[in-house]
Structure 1
Amino acid sequence: MAQSDGPGNDAGGNGAAGALGVTVRRDRWGIAHVEASSAEAAFAAQGWVAADDRIWQMEWDRRRAMGRWAEVVGMVGAREDAFFRRLGLAAISQADYAALDGRTQAMCEDYARGVNRWLATHEDALPAEFEHHPAPPEPWEPWHCVAVYKLRHIFMGTLTRKLWRGRIMAQAGPEAVMATVGDTEADAAMVPGEGPRPDLLADAANVLDACAADMAGLAAAMDSDGASNSWALSGERTASGRPLLAGDPHRGIEFPNVYHQCHLRCDEFDAIGMGFPGVPGFPHFGHNAEVAWGITHGMCDDTDVFVERFEPGSTLGEPWWIEQLQIRGEGTVEVLCGSTPRGPVVLGDPADGVALSMQWTGMFGPDTTLDALWPMLVSGSTAELIEAVRPWVLPVNNLLAADRAGSIAFKIRGRVVERQPASRWTPVPGTDEFAWDGLEPVPFEDLPEWTDPERGFLVTANNRTADGGPYISLDFAGPSRHDRICELVTPMTGATVADMSAVHGDVTSLVASNVLGLITEYAVECGHELSHTLLDMLADWDQRMTADSAPATIYAVIKRRLIEAIIERLGIVGAQLGAAGWPPAAEASRMAAGAATRMLCERNLDVVPGLDNPIGRRMATSACVDETAAELTQRLGPDPHAWTWGKVHRMASPHPLASALMTARDLHPPVDGCAGDGDTVRQGGTAPETGERAIHGSVARYAFDLGDWDSSGWVVPHGVSGVRGSGHDLDQRQAWLNCELLPMSYSPQAVASVTVHEHEL
């Protein structure tokens, strides 16, 4: 069992012998509160604590970043390894680490020292996952901090969306591609302004037509872009007279959870938050003594994909080379690696005459993201925090900040590179015209920001955040979560953390009213004996996706069937490309569902063959209701009032090793029913491919009270530990399911009151 009560006479390792001068206090949920004699000791302790809680997760991320996952799981990991070897992520990370400033490198060195100290004293106490590994983890190197951070963000951009839209272009044409984006003007914009909107469609159709033949054989990659909420209230709206900052990041839910709770106190700073195992500091969510910060994904168009032409059968010289993948139980596999002037070739075989290269903001010049971590920890105001993130590269975030002086602020942070409009939609030709040579990132000062709005609050939810300014993306989330949060916070006065928690748990769907209006109008030719009962139940429904709601289930299944009808008629169903198993069909299905949901909300069905007239809509909608009645009767029995949402909307949190190896399947955590859906503030996203199973949700919730830090709260889906059976692997799960926050103890007195174990490092 990895998570320890204390290191005893810890001798350290890799030059880490001797006391660190650190006291680690574990609270009742196993969360570590570190009190250190210096910043150097604090980061070493953070590395030690992260290893104690999450060493297998850190090893998993590191191996994938280096293209060495197949050494553990065999051929099931080979395709992912090949991608990251061809991308050259390890070499890029080493180069980026070398370009960081001295203080940042020292942070990573200290962090690595702490990890290696833990490894040296726990050789015989590794978690159960390592029973399935051929070897124990290797020492942690400082540049690994950069590699695991980059790994966690490469698929959060537009790589897979462009590949997916390229496939749609090839099989259904430009009209279908444009339909997948919807009415961009309908997205909620947060920053007021009169700047010109970018011409989103200029030249796109001509490029797509020219590339249609090339698109037919191209592969897609995994799509993991996020959906998150954050909001800040000024002191005029709160009980304390000081701001509240709250939110919840949404990702695919896995075990162990992506975020790690920790608290670091030393002479230079006193900060608490959620970090990435393997990375020092608190990049996304946290606060120090004066200022708090949180983010949502900015949905930036950060990647271009290029269709590269090669002479079939030609011999490739420099800069091409062969790398050997070690495949457990299978020997070796050769992977051809190389680049074009656009970027590394990552998919396809040049010997076939066509392959894909890519460019990504995370490898377009040095990635200095980690240079922001120390300045964030020591910032004393929102202005200082915003200046601290000037080096930020990836991902592009909507940053919210609040300080104890009363300021609240929004800033887009990250590397935004504007290209020509034709690059926004699909893969483009591998020619000099589309290369990034000579391009410069948008200056930090030109990225949108908003400080202390008169309305007294800020909200971001992956929506379009500015009317003007630089081009960010085609792929913002719809406005439903943003608009619902605005509805909830607009009347607030005297707000507290409890009010923030209520927002976290809100399950009212603004999308449902649009979809129900369409159902009411067109479901007039139903023939199933239960269909009219279902319609009556929907008519009386409050449009809340609660776990005990039967109408929520009826609505969700009818909506899923309407989505399937749309994507089938558009010809974009089943657009998973490449070899079997990568990407998962659910990812293509999720992207298609997002496009179809936009069409339903905007009543933009005129572009859908067969649904472009009232008769077709009546037939299709009535059929969806009848099919829902038949399906749910078979699945849940004859009584529709017993078809509660929690029975079908169940959260699975797969363990990656258990998913790859049958012998490790006991590592999967249990499955639970949960509320919400992909359109509600309480996120529980689904995909038609996997029915009503929740595949996307809140991977953390937090509320920072700047009037009293000890009144703040947080929770994660499982627990702080990634060690199954440790006692802190699932002890936050019920609170997460109940949408409750646990105390975020910060002051020495509050930490002492919740401490259950204390030891020295």
Structure 2
Amino acid sequence: MPWPVRWLARVLTVLVVLALVLAGVVTWTVRQSFPEFEGTLSLPGLTGKVDVYRDKSGVPHIYADTAEDLFLAQGFVHAQDRFWEMDFRRHVTSGRLSEMFGPATLEQDKAIRTMGWRRVAEQEVPELKESTRRYLESYAKGVNAWLKRNEDASARSFEYSVLKLTNGDYRPEEWKIEDSVAWLKAMAWDLRSNMETEIDRALAATKLPAERVAQLFPGYPFDRHAPIVGQGALTNGRFDPQAAPEQGGDKAITSAAELLSKVPSLMSTADRDGIGSNSWVVSGEHTTTGKPILANDPHLSAQMPSVWYQAGLHCRAKSENCAYDVTGFTFSGLPGVIIGHNDRIAWGFTNLGPDVADLFLEKVEGDTYLHKDATRKLETRTETIKVAGGEPVRLEVRSTVHGPLVGEVMGIEAAQGANAVALQWTALIPGSSADAIFAMNEAGNWHEFRAAAALFDVPSQNLIYADVDGQIGYQSPGRIPVRLKGDGTAPVPGWTGEYDWKPEPLPFDQLPTLTDPAAGFIVTANNAVIDPSRYGPLLTKDWSYGYRSQRIRELLEQELGKGKISPETMGALQNDTRNEFASTLIPHLTEVELAGPAVQAREQLKDWDGTQSLDSKPAAYFNAVWRHLLRLAFDDDLPEAARPTGGDRWYEVVRALLERPDDAFWDDTTTSYTEKKADILRQAMVDAHEEIGPDATWGDLHTLTLTNQSLGTSGIAPIEAIFNRGPFGAPGGKDAVNANGWNVQQGYEVTSVASMRMVVDLADLDNSRWINLTGNSGHAYHPNYWDQAPLWARGETLPMLASPDKVRAAATHTLRLVP
């Protein structure tokens, strides 16, 4: 063997050995943090024994004799599987990421500190019920018991070993009640209302006249898409479900948009058009089981691990001291169950989306601002941000009567003379959502559930309900502001006082509600709650446009026309992939004169039923045409931040444009030629074919990569490979029922997903089904890190067991916790 070849062979051998050694070290380090699922562990703070049964998916069911022991054990179990995630989240919500990651996260910290999430949480805790504080304290004790048992970085999670390479001094501190409560602010932020739409309107207005801006924000199509509540009205200051209705600043805004874009999202993506959810419930009169069936699938960001953690929390014997027997989806870092069922009722959430945040244009001079023709002093506070590897950074936060100034532009002439923007948002007022979680978990009937809903002030969610007695219901909760003037659709002058909020929000008794409707089912999918013609108070003008909700309604009506609905049918509906806009657009595409290879591509749309399955070539081509159509028609007219992302608002915008072939939006302002509808449709079809070719399927284009929120975007390929999973094909689309969203400005990759799916059978709770996007574990390479993802991708689910016998029979691990 020649010497260069021998030398190369030896080098390669050394490299292979080093790679194997490194892989072995990484594997050993990763496995160091895998939690104990078997045996007996002693935990300080417990008053009695607690049993934790885990099934093969790593889902724990916890059994205790007191509520305090139950939530202490939940804190311990959450920390076992997800402490890095919990630690990362609390640093986000308190604006302290830079303590972990250094200057790279300083802008995010500044944005969070400006809004003051942690400050609000600290103000909220003393106002909570005594029992809530007690349960939060028990949960914190459980987390801290785990921390004490795992003081070495490698024993906590592999992420800490990676962090040690750049921040060797970092040590996680003890868990506090405020860490849990602050997470509710992140939840409220990610499920906030129309603030981005409000900014988009203002940005669009910098380039377009008012009448053209209005085209981009059409009203809700009540004539085609039914609202959630189709009956009832306000009567004597209360909403009566049976009543009949009575007849009768440019640069400053840009700066605010930039600051608010820095706020990290823990449940959603920057592309918030895809954030929504589906839920529906069918009464027992129309089901094969004779009892109600409830379905829910919240649409959130595609992240690793999933935002949800499945668990069961059970008192061995329900009593006044221990009133919980609940199974469902939890948030690590927060005690209780967010969505699920107890032994009597089931409930689900979708985003209600009321307008709960306003941007006020302000006139600021020095340390004062103008309000109601008077000069007032700005409220100020100084925040000190610790930065790993650097000096602390001081941030001065200034606020008006409306709220913190977000993105001041001092000394610059702006819209209406404003030079700053303040954010008023209901979540910056201390509230009672933590109380609501425990009250929902305990509720045993509709009356008790509504009482719990009244406590759920932020974020405002559509709540659907079913119980073992056969009742189904819907309730709008939340703190919804009442404005003196205006509709919240655009930034308003703050100095006049005429757009201020009234001191008290809309009373809970005036919010829409519904029980046992004649139709036999209730559907919510971020569509309009109620037609304004029958309801006076303003909830919002910026609903999702009802494509998903109407499709669900039509599918339910079809199934009811054949007979009764089974739990299996409910699960199948969650996986419906049809594009509801295809039937509107395709006839216009076929009318256009076309030549060349794109003709063949268009032909496959003629017999396409709109189904967006993985193997569908028509789905790939149609979505490519849609992407290019939107970019050709609108990108030249709008600022980058306000360009279309492809949600159902754009369905409505294009629907109207298709009937106006000479509309100015069809013209490409970057050319000397005046384009019309046919020109843009033709070009979109040609560009789509050239981009994806003749053989691409939807599964080839529409892929999902599960990305770890912290280290999964490090830019270091080996690190990202440890924590991320994928890509793999995903069916459905942005406003299909199976809502795997994507952004036309970025490509076809999935940005938002059904983060979990659940179907609850109130006739037999053990017959319920569920699935998580990834898995319960937050530890890379643990068997439960992403074991549910392949099932999720195929639209499959797992048994959602709840009864003690079934739970014990399915258990593959049993851990006993003792005092």
- Name the structure 2 match of 1:251: 300
User: d(CA) in 1 for partners of 2:334 and 2:525?
Assistant: 25
Distance 1:321 1:352 in 2: 24
Deviating more after overlay: 347-356 vs 651-660: 347-356
State the one-letter code of the partner of 2:527.
N
Q: Which has the larger radius of gyration?
A: 2
CA distance in 2, matches of 1:368, 1:483: 33
Contact 1:255 1:653 in 2 (8 A): yes
Native 8 Å contact 2:362 2:422 kept in 1: yes
Q: Does 1:363 align with 2:428?
A: yes
Q: 1:724 aligned to 780, 785, 804, which one?
A: 780
Within 5 Å, give how 1:109-120 maps onto structure 2: 109-120=137-148
Q: 1:608 to 1:114 in 2, by over 3 A?
A: farther
Q: Mean Cα displacement is larger for which, 16-25 or 103-112?
A: 16-25
Letter in 2 for 1:139: E
SS of the residue aligned with 2:627? Answer: helix
Instruction: Find out whether 1:82 has 2:110 as its counterpart.
Output: yes
Deviations 1:574-612 (A, max 9, x none): 127xxxxxxxxxxx653x654432212344664951538
Select which of 328, 346, 353 maps to 1:299: 353
The residue number in structure 1 matching 2:704 is 651
Q: Is the 8 A contact 2:73 2:142 kept in 1?
A: yes
Equivalence for 1:426: 490
In the other structure, the counterpart of 1:142 is: 177
Amino acid at match of 1:620: I
The structure-2 alpha-carbon separation of the partners of 1:369 and 1:18, relative to structure 1 and needing over 3 Å to count, comes to closer
Matched, 1:623 2:683: yes
Residue type at the aligned position of 1:320: T
Q: Distance in 1 between matches of 2:367 and 2:464?
A: 53
* Alpha-carbon shift at residue 382 of structure 1 (Å): 2.4
In the alignment, is the contact (CA less than 8 A) between 2:291 and 2:763 conserved in 1?
Answer: yes
Q: Deviations over 1:157-200 (max 9, x none)?
A: 2333222222112222323432232132445312124769xxxx
TM normalised by structure 2 equals 0.84
Contact 2:252–2:420, Cα closer than 8 Å, also in 1:
no
Asked if 1 retains the 8 angstrom alpha-carbon contact of 2:368 and 2:378, the reply is no
| Equivalent in the alignment of 1:741 | 797
Q: For 2:98 and 2:313, how far apart are their aligned partners in 1? A: 36
* Counterpart Cα distance in 2 of 1:705 and 1:390: 26
CA shift for structure 1 position 732: 0.4
1:281-332 superposed Cα distances (whole Å, 9 cap, x missing partner): 123x111111000010001111011122223699998632432322333433
Aligned length: 719
**Residue 536 of structure 1 pairs with residue 603 of structure 2:** yes
SS in 2 for 1:191: coil
Verify the 8 A CA contact 1:34 1:265 in the aligned structure 2: yes
CA shift in 2, pair 1:659/1:3, >3 Å? closer
**Are 2:302 and 2:705, in contact at CA under 8 Å, matched by a contact in 1?**
yes
Classify 1:599/1:383 alpha carbon distance in 2 versus 1 (closer, same or farther; 3 Å). Answer: same
Q: 2:399 is matched with which residue?
A: 339
What residue is the counterpart of 1:510 in the other structure? 580
1:200-219 map, 5 Å? 211-212=249-250, 214-215=252-253, 218-219=256-257
Is 1:279 the counterpart of 2:344? The answer is no
Question: Which of 335, 342, 350 is residue 288 of structure 1 equivalent to?
Answer: 342
Alpha-carbon distance change, 32 to 419 in structure 1, aligned in 2, over 3 angstroms: same
Matched, 1:189 2:227: yes
Residue 60 (1) aligns with residue 125 (2): no
Which residue is equivalent to 2:151? Answer: 123
2:625 is matched with which residue: 533, 558, 568? Answer: 558
Q: Secondary structure at the match of 1:184?
A: coil
Spell out, residue by residue over 1:544-598, the C-alpha distance to the aligned partner (whole angstroms, 9 max, x if none): 00000000000000011111123225x225127xxxxxxxxxxx653x6544322
1:573–1:589: 8 Å Cα contact kept in structure 2? Answer: no
Offset of residue 339 of structure 1 = 0.9
- The more displaced of 476-485 and 215-224 is 215-224
Secondary structure at 1:499 match in 2: helix
CA offsets 1:58-91 (integer angstroms, 9 cap, x no match): 1111001111112222333111110111111111
| 8 Å contact kept, 1:723–1:729 | yes
Quickly say closer, same or farther: Cα 1:194–1:114, change in 2 above 3 A: closer
Partner of 1:98 in structure 2? Answer: 126
Give, in whole Å, the separation in 2 of the partners of 1:481 and 1:307: 35
Map residues 678-693 of structure 1 onto 2, 5 A cutoff.
678-693=734-749
Q: Which moved more, 1:224-233 or 1:312-321?
A: 312-321
- Structure 1 gaps, min length 5: 197-210, 577-587, 634-639
Q: How does 1:397-436 map to 2 (within 5 A)?
A: 397-420=461-484, 422-434=486-498, 436=500
Residue 205 (structure 2) aligns with: 169
Partner residue in 2 for 1:449? 513
1:750 aligns to what? 806
Given the superposition, is the C-alpha separation of residues 35 and 195 from structure 1 closer, same or farther in structure 2, using an over 3 Å criterion? closer
User: Does residue 1:319 correspond to 2:379, yes or no?
Assistant: yes
Per the alignment, do residues 454 and 195 of structure 1 end up closer, same or farther by CA in structure 2, a change over 3 Å counting? closer
1:4 corresponds in structure 2 to 35
- Counterpart Cα distance in 2 of 1:605 and 1:363: 44
Change in Cα spacing, 1:169 to 1:122, as seen in structure 2 (3 Å) is same
Checking the alignment, whether the CA contact within 8 Å between 1:171 and 1:216 is kept in structure 2 is no
CA–CA distance in structure 2, aligned partners of residues 345 and 554 of structure 1: 45
C-alpha change, 1:213 and 1:35, in structure 2 (3 Å) is: closer
CA distance in 1, matches of 2:284, 2:145: 44
- The equivalent of 2:447 in structure 1 is 383
SS at match of 2:581: helix
Shift in CA distance, 387/56, structure 1 to aligned 2, threshold 3 Å:
same
Whether the 8 Å contact between 2:287 and 2:565 is mirrored in structure 1 is yes
**Is 2:201 the counterpart of 1:159?**
no
Alpha-carbon distance in 1 for matches of 2:250, 2:691? 38
Q: Please tell me the root mean square deviation across aligned C-alpha atoms, in Å.
A: 2.4
Q: Give the aligned residue type for 2:314.
A: R
Matched, 1:713 2:755: no
Q: Which of residues 625, 629, 638 is equivalent to 1:572?
A: 638
Distance across 1 between alignment mates of 2:491 and 2:518 = 43
1:270 to 325, 339, 344: 325
What are the superposed Cα offsets for residues 408-454 of structure 1, whole Å, 9 maximum, x if unpaired? Answer: 00111111112256352222222252564533211111110110011
Q: 1:371 to 1:323 in 2, by over 3 A?
A: same
Q: CA deviation at 1:231?
A: 0.6
Q: Is the 8 A contact 2:634 2:665 kept in 1?
A: no
